Chain A
Amino acid sequence: MIDRDAPVTEDELHAFVDGELPADRREAVAAFLANHPEDAAKVAAWRAQMDEIRTRYGAVADEPVPERLKLDYVMRTPRGGRSWMGMAAAAAVAAFVIGGAAGWMARGASAAPNGFASITADAIDAYKLYVVEVRHPVEVPGSERAHMTQWLSKRFGTALQVPDLESIGLKLVGGRLLPGPTGEAAAFYMYESASGERFTIYCAKATTPESALRYKTADGAAAFYWVDDKVAYVVSGPADRDRLEKVTKQVYEQVDRSGARKS
């Protein structure tokens, strides 16, 4: 027999909803709820919350697992020097802080002219300006890679490398010279995928010798930034972090001069 007046505690109501109630109390609680509409409403509200949470997030588990979360990728041990993985993981944390900082700090107000905020902002501005340019996106076409490398290196004052991104389906459109954050020359390369997606690399002189990898998004565009051997690199592209991370990884490995020196 069910004792309809058996005292039911609040804890039991939660356990009832969560399927944690021992079988011998389940019927008692059900009977209690039938006679206590206020408690029944509460239980219904909890169930509705549960449904909403499951509806909102349940499907995440059905999404394909991104490349960087596959165990083979996670376990891959990086080669010497600073590892891409370590850098990328650090960028995740930095993205946070910088995302906040960028909004909080008016550009140029307290930022050093060749610090992260201003170089990245310049790079993203250049990306946005030239990425939509159909006829004259670059000054020197990619077909003249050797000439372009020589010319930009000369103007820049340091030997630059123009990464080859063909292995990930990106063709060099070409490059141009831009004014850098302190008025010195900055080099700018543009790449394009078969579907017309464009990515750019911006190189400028930096005062810090090295920095961690950082990530920033701005109005549909995104950028990874780091400093290696006193040259700041900003890889910009559409705001798709996984894709941009792949591109950046290629660039990083090809321009990793400090790593190359160490090995």
Chain B
Amino acid sequence: MPTFRQKVEATIPALRRYGRALTRDTDIADDLVQDTLVRALRSEHLFHGGDVRSWLYTILTNLNRNRLRSLARRPTLAPIEDNDAAELAGPEAGGRDIERALATLVDDQRQALLLVVLEGLTYREVAEVQGVPIGTVMSRLARARVQIKTYLDGERPALRRVK
């Protein structure tokens, strides 16, 4: 049986991948992963069984949500990473399209989509990570897919602000 620590360690590459897609910034993503690890190791005693991986995704998701909130509270100082720029720029040729498309999503929808398609979590696991019913996960997923398709099809997406 792998120990708690080994399980955490084995999840680091996946956390980096999720963080990178979630923030589209290597440094910010790795900072989130680092904070996630510090928190996880510090509160190991609070962890009672269950899936270590889901728990780590939950911590990272919450840390990122807090980060976006604190940025939103300081609008003049923090032109929210490149989200706004990405929203304003139209689709471009090349592999960055999907990155820009993801940037146009509301955070909850982006989390749901990435956890399902990139991290391979089940709807039930995503519901646990996000702390919402499965139906909510599915509607977030559906809205995310419509938004990305709209964006990639070249229609100007409705401008949304990350809350």
Binding site for B on A (CB under 8 A): 10-11, 14-15, 18, 20, 42, 45-46, 49-50, 52-58, 60-63, 65-66, 68-69, 71, 74-75, 85, 89, 92-93, 95-97, 100-101, 103-104, 241
Contact call B37/A46, Cβ cutoff below 8 A: no
Complex Cα distance, B99 from A20, in Å, reads 26
Residue of A whose beta carbon sits closest to that of B22: A57
Contact call B41/A74, Cβ cutoff below 8 A: yes
0/1 string, B102-119, CB within 8 A of A gives 1: 100000000001101110
Contact call B13/A96, Cβ cutoff below 8 A: no
Q: Determine the interface band of chain B, counting residues with CB < 8 A from chain A.
A: 35 or more
List A contacts of B34 (CB < 8 A): 68-69, 74, 89, 92
- Can you list 29 pairs linking A and B with CB atoms under 8 Å apart? A14-B142, A15-B138, A18-B117, A20-B122, A20-B123, A49-B117, A49-B152, A53-B21, A56-B21, A56-B95, A56-B99, A57-B17, A57-B21, A60-B13, A60-B16, A66-B30, A68-B30, A69-B33, A69-B37, A71-B8, A74-B37, A74-B38, A89-B34, A89-B38, A93-B67, A96-B78, A97-B74, A100-B78, A104-B77
Complex Cα distance, B142 from A46, in Å, reads 10
Is B149 part of the contact surface with A, judged by Cβ < 8 Å? yes
Closest Cβ of chain B to A152, distance in Å, is 33
Complex Cα distance, B145 from A15, in Å, reads 13
Complex Cα distance, B74 from A69, in Å, reads 28
Among B34-79, those with CB < 8 Å from A are 34-35, 37-38, 41, 67, 70-71, 74, 76-79
List B contacts of A89 (CB < 8 A): 31, 34-35, 38
